[in-house]
Amino acid sequence: MAGSFTQPVDANAVLCALENGEVLHLFLDEHTLLDSRFRPMREATQLALPLKGPLNDDIAALFSALPFSTELATRHFESSEPSNNPHAQLHRTIKTWLDTNADDEEKTALLTQLPRKWERLGDAMVLPEQAFQTPQWTHLLSRCSQQQIEMLWQSVAQALSANRLGRQHAVASDMFRTSQTELLYGDNGWVEFLDHGVRFGFDFTRVMFSSGNNTERRRIGAISMKGEVVVDAFAGIGYYTLHMAKRSQAEHIHAFEMNPDAIEGLQWGIRANDVEQRVTVHSGDNQRNLPLLYGKADRCHLGLLPSSEAVWEHAVRCLKAHGGWLHIHMNVRENEIDTWQASTVDTLKHIAAEHGRTWNISSTHLERVKWYSPRVRHVVLDVHFEDIHGMNDV
Ligand SMILES: C[S@@+](CC[C@H](N)C(=O)[O-])C[C@H]1O[C@@H](n2cnc3c(N)ncnc32)[C@H](O)[C@@H]1O
């Protein structure tokens, strides 16, 4: 029973060397495999992390994609007390709701199917796509009245200390990467919050926000861009634009965005962070608008998944004659990252040569942002364009 045991309990575990513990923890979390009811355990030079689900070939294959070795085993874990952690609170709350809304025989199974993971956006909590959608939960909810269901969502929100509740659906594969988050409880989806000192506001039922890109927002915002003109080709609500304006101190950012819902959030963020004088929003298709910046930028940020390749040529042409930087986002299979990195630099050299640029072009860093799917990584490649001979015309 979640959160109620205090004695050590046998559970499945995955073990790795201590220095890989953080990466493995993130990996389990992203694949919803971490059993947060238990406390990770240090054993000499190894870390044992509690694993949800059975130890089978699929799980073993998933871990084999990692760049370090892991071992599957069972371990004696302690409960991740305190028992008033959100998991335990959720368990208690749902148990109470089930006491009046479900049959005794159903309860035990339903209580083992509670969400183990959620994401906070301001005062809203967003549950994963499968939350309360198992066949047994769907069957129970189909018998409940609207009022009973409303009570359930309200209780879940309260247990998780939130005022509103949403449930994620896959980000649409349309050009806008539209959020399809469903509002389960609350009047509207507008949320406001602080991310590494930068204010964000948007409607989470209409626009996506990837908390998994947290490390990348922190990294980009830590790069000094003083005196630079920056192009953000896929600005969204300002995921990177606002960090580059506020924390990197770019002199001016040209933010390109075509989704009106995202632009609403972007404009809000520009005002809230007091960077109106240093950000220009170019609404509409960047294929049409990027030529406005040809030859004018020191840096271009290309943050679109699964690929930003459609604007690579525009981005190269936006760089000033003396060169600059590109930050290229891409989803790449883990075992193809090296070849993708080399072929991307080749493609950029080809584009530059076609436009008469004689830059020295090299990749300086590859950031592994998050796992996008079991074997596919969201990566960002930093590429430097340098006019070593001063031969490019201004
Ligand atoms: C959601 S952000 C990407 C954030 C993050 N890097 C990710 O993909 O997870 C991508 C933004 O690019 C915008 N976008 C896509 N194609 C575009 C285009 N041709 N012109 C302007 N904006 C575009 C979408 O509307 C969306 O807001």
Q: Is the dihedral of CA 244, 246, 250, 255 positive or negative?
A: positive
Burial call 64-99: b when 16+ CB within 10 Å, e when fewer: eebeeebeeeebebebbeebebebbbbbbbbbebbe
pLDDT at 5: 41
**Which numbered atom of ligand 1 lies nearest the CA of 176?**
25
Q: What is the pTM of this model?
A: 0.77
> Which residues pair with residue 360 across a beta bridge?
386
> Which residues pair with residue 119 across a beta bridge?
126
Map out the domains of the chain with their CATH numbers: 9-77 (3.30.70.2580), 86-185 (3.30.300.110), 210-386 (3.40.50.150)
Give pLDDT tens digits for 164-175.
999 988 765 666
Taking the C-alpha atoms of 383, 387, 389 and 393 in order, what is their torsion angle to the nearest 10 degrees?
A: 150
Given a contact cutoff of 8 angstroms between Cβ atoms, the answer to whether 229 and 251 are in contact is yes
Given a contact cutoff of 8 angstroms between Cβ atoms, the answer to whether 174 and 197 are in contact is no
pLDDT at 2: 32
If you measure from the C-alpha of residue 128 to the centroid of ligand 1, how many angstroms do you get, rounded to a whole number? 22
pLDDT at 394: 55
Q: Name the stretches of the chain with pLDDT < 70.
A: 1-8, 81-84, 171-179, 390-394
Residues contacting ligand 1 via CB (< 6 Å): 175-177, 208, 210, 213, 234, 236, 239, 256-259, 262, 285-287, 303-305, 329
pLDDT at 385: 98
**Which numbered atom of ligand 1 lies nearest the CA of 236?**
27
pLDDT at 304: 95
